[in-house]
Amino acid sequence: MIGHTGPVLGIAFSPKGDLIATASNDKTVRVWKPDGTPLLTLNDHKEQVESLAFSPHSNQIVSVSDDKTIRLWNLDLDDLVARGCNWVDDYLKSKPENYPNKHLCDDVQPSAQLFLEKGNRIVTNNGDVEGAATKYREALKLDSNLKFDPLTEAKMIAAPGVRDEGGKLAQKGKIKEAIRAYNVAQEYHPNLQILGKHWDKLCRYGSLHSHGTDVMFACDNAVELQPENAQFRDSRGLARALTGDFNGAVEDFEAFIQQVKSTEQKAQRQLWIESLKKDENPFTPEVLNSIILNMI
């Protein structure tokens, strides 16, 4: 058997005796027929492969490498072909000139798992909840053991992406759209984890774009989750000042001063506090614009 470019460190026969696998310091695993015909080269390891073994049904190989990883390789050729057809199906449909080639997949039977994976990709990459739910329904038809509501599942998977899109909208100053995205994310997944940093982003950008009242709930949520986080107190202080709650703003800025080390930041907040205590709002359009520029 010729093919490896370095010493062979391990060898294994499949339980059925119809395959041989070899591990090498050339970072690859190779699969052969007993007569020496090469079948597959598996080359995702970053360092030499020390050992390997077949699964009881000969459809998988596990390999151990000096790159500190253990990899599981799928040798179920029918499944691999089905996955390939599943991946290129949308491409062929979008490229009419290539569509005649689709006959290569005509005899491939789809599996429930493939429909589940395709649904996951659709909702994760495109946020297409309805499209994902359609794929999940196909999976349910093929596997009666699957028990879930397709639309609910699609929404739950979509929720983190919707939440993150809300943060991006906030950064662009599209605050009402951002709030709507956060609300939709929570509707999709009532138990979705929204961290203090997510609420703080909505709070701070919302305040800077004249929506302090609209985002105050987000400011409070961030501080409630992490009351010792200086940035969250600073953001809420800004929101409070811009909505007329000067006493609340002073409280937050004083907490910020106690928690940070930067003398420059402390001095700036102290000036704001002095103005607020005089019942003066220090946040002129110029100051707000300066804060925005420093955040870019």
The span from the CA of 215 to the CA of 120, in Å, is: 32
pTM above 0.75, yes or no: no
pLDDT > 70? residue 105? no
Whether pLDDT at 196 is above 80: yes
Q: CA torsion 181→187→188→193, rounded to 10°? A: 80
Same fold flag, 110-194 and 195-283: yes
Least confident among 66-70, 98-102, 170-174, 183-187: 98-102
| pLDDT tens digits for range 138-164 | 999 988 899 999 999 999 999 999 999
Determine the pLDDT at residue 111. Answer: 77
Residue 256 phi, psi dihedral angles, 5° rounding: -60, -45
Closest CA to 80 of 134, 24, 23, 40: 40
What is the average pLDDT value for the chain, to the nearest integer?
89
Question: What DSSP character marks residue 243?
Answer: T
SS3 state at 202: helix
Q: What is the DSSP string of 55-114?
A: -TTSSEEEEEETTS-EEEEE--HHHHHHHHHHHHHHHHHH-GGGGGGGGGGTTPPP-HHH
Does pLDDT of 102 surpass 70?
no
* Cα radius of gyration rounded to whole Å, the chain: 29
Instruction: Give the least confident one: 96-100, 124-128, 232-236.
Output: 96-100
Listed in sequence order, the residues at least 6 apart from 19 whose beta carbon sits closer than 8 Å to its beta carbon are: 13, 31, 32, 33, 34, 39, 54, 58, 75
- Specify the pLDDT at position 191: 93
What are the sequence ranges of the domains in the chain?
8-75, 110-194, 195-283
- The stretches of the chain forming alpha helices (DSSP H) are 77-94, 112-126, 129-142, 150-171, 175-188, 196-208, 212-225, 230-242, 246-259, 263-277, 285-295
Right CATH number for 110-194 from 1.10.3470, 1.25.40, 3.30.70, 1.10.510?
Answer: 1.25.40
Q: Report the CATH superfamily, name and number, of domain 195-283.
A: Tetratricopeptide repeat domain (1.25.40.10)
